Amino acid sequence: MKFGVLTAFAMTAVAAFVGTPLPAAAQLKVAVIENLSGPGSATNRLFAVGMKNGLTLVNKAGGWKGQPIEYLEYDSQGSSSVAADKVRAAIADGAHILVSGGSSAVAGQIVEDVRKQNLRNPDRRVIFMNVGAEASDFTGEKCNFYSFKYAMNAEIRVKALVTAMKAAGALGDRVFSINQNYSWGKDMEAAITRYAGPMGYTVVDKVLHDVSKVQDFSPYVARIKSSNASTVITGNWGSDLILLVKEIGASGLKVQLGSTFLELPGTLSSAGASTLGYYTADFYLPEAGGAAAKALFDRYKAIAGTLPTTSEVKSVVMAQMLQAALANVELGPKVDTTKIALALEKAKVQTPIGEISMRAADHQAAVPLVVSVVSKDASFKVDGTDMGFKPVKVIPGPEAISAVQETCKMDRPS
């Protein structure tokens, strides 16, 4: 009885000494704004799936110092104007970090919306983490302290692709450039042209076509044939890549092909054996990661029920980058996004193919990537086929990253 009285007295004394208890720590909210229902959604929604599962893995490991991170999701429908509405909705719902990756057009809208939000509401700043949109101006004229680009860009991909293909004797000396007519495709065309001299090839023709609207690529394949190209290099993705590769195969045209998104689900199964011998350059193909990659895939499958696609792995790794940053940010009654942004600049994650780090000068991540060739000898078969991606070369992040652009004039918080 005396123990109980003394305990009660001690608790009262402590309460009187410290005053009102401190408020509970605010919960961090991460909002994915992605194309979940519009054209291209079958591909783009994978970034959202990966982020949801990636944050689940982070929360299972303790979240932010014991507090779970909340996941929010909004459908941009692949539209910049809809994305702008979703940004406002996410911020109204309390989001601190916005995530997107399936479209450079949508990501460009989010970058601008975040810039305006932070200028107008310095006490309610938000962060944008770009997992897959690769337009180069995000780390150029549109670079922003609160915007982080974990995606690569055309310069990084093309440099790796043509270097590895040349070393393998698969590049040829006459290249046909075909890409989608928006910021990403234009960046690809420029990079393909820029590396012609250093890599010893001539760009014999260039095509920019509408995105996800071309149903018949036979006129373009006829143009490739008439150019006498030895190699086609393309940044196409989704149906534009599938239909292009299928038409090349159906025509009987014998050319080499270098790609940046050949590993996306459905491409090999749709295009078939005509893809054998084709090259692609992307982050994280499983065979290059060995046992560590298998362990990551197994952890993911345990919560998702399926093995992750490359797009999902990108989101998972970005969630790990956030986890690494939050380890150095204290919990408090309010989420301080400036402190989180400063921590994101210093965060590093060791992946099965090498380290990922963030460059503070322009917020471009140094991401390792793998150049691989479609082969029946690959250990990991994809799309239910007897084919997969055999690694040819792994390029460490510091070697792969492109130079800081002169157009990046980043204003940093004082």
pTM over 0.85: yes
Closest CA to 136 of 410, 358, 402, 409: 402
Mean pLDDT of the chain: 92
Question: Residue 280 — very low, low, confident or very high, per pLDDT cuts 50/70/90?
Answer: very high
DSSP states of 153-167 as a string?
-HHHHHHHHHHHHHH
Q: Is the pLDDT of residue 220 over 90?
A: yes
Residue 78 exposure: Cα atoms within 13 Å on the Cβ side: 12
Chain centroid offset of residue 87 CA: 19
| CATH 3.40.50.2300 given to domain 29-152+289-366 | yes
Domain segments of the chain as ranges = 29-152+289-366, 155-282+368-400
Residue that wins the pLDDT comparison between 265 and 341: 341
Average pLDDT over residues 292-312: 91
pLDDT tens digit string along 18-36? 444 445 788 999 999 999 9
Please check whether residue 241 is in contact with residue 261, taking contact to mean a CB–CB distance below 8 angstroms: yes
* CATH architecture of residue range(s) 155-282+368-400: 3-Layer(aba) Sandwich (3.40)
Same fold, 29-152+289-366 and 155-282+368-400: yes
pLDDT at 226 exceeding the cut of 70: yes
Instruction: For residue range 361-409, list pLDDT tens digits in order.
Output: 999 999 999 999 999 999 889 889 999 999 999 999 999 999 999 999 9
Q: Within a 13 Å sphere around the CA of 165, how many CA atoms are in the beta-carbon half?
A: 32
Rg (CA), the chain: 24
Residue 164 pLDDT: 95
One-letter identity of residue 354:
G
Q: Do residues 371 and 162 touch, judged by C-beta distance below 8 A?
A: no
Specify whether the CB–CB gap between 100 and 107 falls below 8 A.
Answer: yes
Q: Measured between alpha carbons, how far is 26 from 145 in angstroms, rounded to an integer?
A: 23
